[in-house]
Amino acid sequence: MRVWHHILSLPSDRVLWVLLVLLALLIISLFIVVLVLRSSWQISQTRLKKHRKIWQAMIMDFISEPDAMAKFKSTIHRRDFFHFGQYLISFFDCLIGEDRDALTQLACQLKVTAFFKTQLSSRNPWTRAYSAYYLGRVGCVASVPQLEKMLQDPHPSVAICAARALLSTPHFVMYSDVLRVVLRHKVFLEQLIEETFDRHGQQILTFLRKFLVTASSPQEKLAIVSLIGRFKDRVAITVLCQLAVSTEDPLLLMDILKALGEIGDELSIPILEMHLTHFLPEIRREAVAALGKLGNHHIMALLTSKLTDPDWLVRFQAARALVALGDVGHRLLELLQTVADEDASRRMAAFVLFEKQLLEGKKESEWDDAADRI
């Protein structure tokens, strides 16, 4: 404080010079700090690249000659475990069978896996998340109890990584607790099912069907219905149809109809037909679109009846669904564009046929004739 009082007591021109000198010193100091940090980062990256080349050669030697463990123990130190673990995962992505088992054995013998197990209790949430991710990729069964506790971690990324790790672990069966954690994050759950479908897919879908009946949150129901449709779970058709009749949530009903269309089973036709007369045009659109995905010629009468719907998008969906049925639907639309009683039906049939001609590469000279009929 005395220094500042002394500076302020100086004449105004000298005070300005002192402040400029201090500002210049501050800028120079910041510049030096940036240079030091950049140099240290470049040095660490150069060192890491050098180590990766050595690790690659040694890993290849170990896969072909498992007795080469002594080289690793003298080369890899504890401070390199985090980067070495990241590098190992890139090998796990492209190795299968005995080679992958050998690499897992290498990570255990070098105590890299044990190191990541200790990092599960780190204060840094990103360290915890990556440690869980690593343990899941190597399939560490011994870490399952710790990973189960991490499902309750307050940081969402940690809980999701723990769930992915558990589903990647052999012989893991506690699906319900894992899926409850990530059910809010539908994208992550789709990735989990795709990554582990061969091993856990049917058990996960079984849980989703049961949880759909008991779930109280609308968001959870929307996520489950979307996933059931995404993975075409035909066993869930009965549950979806019952929910379509009982629900009063229009958003959920729209997702149910969309899921029924994705599954594409004829058992859903009565429910879809029932919602063709719903008072909301959005519901009618989804019902028509779902019927169109079934590809069944027996629903042509239902689709034709919706060409007179008051909502033009419903009429458009019905006409496109008829085109998707092939030659039969195409001939029906050609007939309707000339003999239909309703002007809206004729115009929509002509519009969709014109659209089909454009997609098929119809010559420009023929566009006007088609356009005149719309």
DSSP states along 229-264: HHTT-GGGHHHHHHHHHH---HHHHHHHHHHHHHHT
The answer to the question of residue 207 being in a domain is yes
Specify whether 180 is located in the same domain as 166: no
Yes or no: say if 292 and 303 are a contact pair by the CB < 8 Å rule: yes
Specify whether 120 is located in the same domain as 81: yes
Residue 271: per-residue pLDDT: 92
Of the residues 213, 238, 260, which one is the last residue of a structural domain?
A: 260
Range of the domain at 72: 55-172
The answer to the question of residue 345 being in a domain is yes
Residue 47 has pLDDT above 80, yes or no: no
Specify whether 155 is located in the same domain as 167: yes
If you search the block for the tokens 């034709």, which residue do you land on? 304
Residue 58 has pLDDT above 80, yes or no: no
Specify whether 121 is located in the same domain as 141: yes
Specify whether 302 is located in the same domain as 346: yes
The answer to the question of residue 50 being in a domain is no
Specify whether 69 is located in the same domain as 166: yes
Specify whether 152 is located in the same domain as 217: no
Residue 69 has pLDDT above 80, yes or no: no
Mean pLDDT of the chain: 77
Residue 323 has pLDDT above 50, yes or no: yes
**Selection from 95, 104, 92, 152 nearest residue 128 by Cα:** 152
The answer to the question of residue 226 being in a domain is yes
The answer to the question of residue 195 being in a domain is yes
The answer to the question of residue 245 being in a domain is yes
Residue 368: per-residue pLDDT: 45
The answer to the question of residue 330 being in a domain is yes
Residue 10: per-residue pLDDT: 56
The answer to the question of residue 364 being in a domain is yes
Greater confidence, 63 or 327? Answer: 327
Q: Is residue 212 very low, low, confident or very high in pLDDT (cuts 50, 70, 90)? A: confident
Instruction: Tell me if the pTM is above 0.75.
Output: no
Number of structural domains the chain divides into: 3
Specify whether 126 is located in the same domain as 158: yes
Specify whether 113 is located in the same domain as 198: no
Specify whether 160 is located in the same domain as 210: no
Most confident by average pLDDT, 110-124, 206-220, 274-288? 274-288
Residue 273 has pLDDT above 80, yes or no: yes
C-alpha of 219 from chain center: 16
Greater confidence, 364 or 241? Answer: 241
Specify whether 147 is located in the same domain as 186: no
Question: pLDDT per residue over 176-204, tens digit each?
Answer: 667 766 666 655 666 666 666 666 677 77
Q: Is residue 370 very low, low, confident or very high in pLDDT (cuts 50, 70, 90)? A: very low
pLDDT > 90 fraction of the chain, expressed in percent and rounded: 7
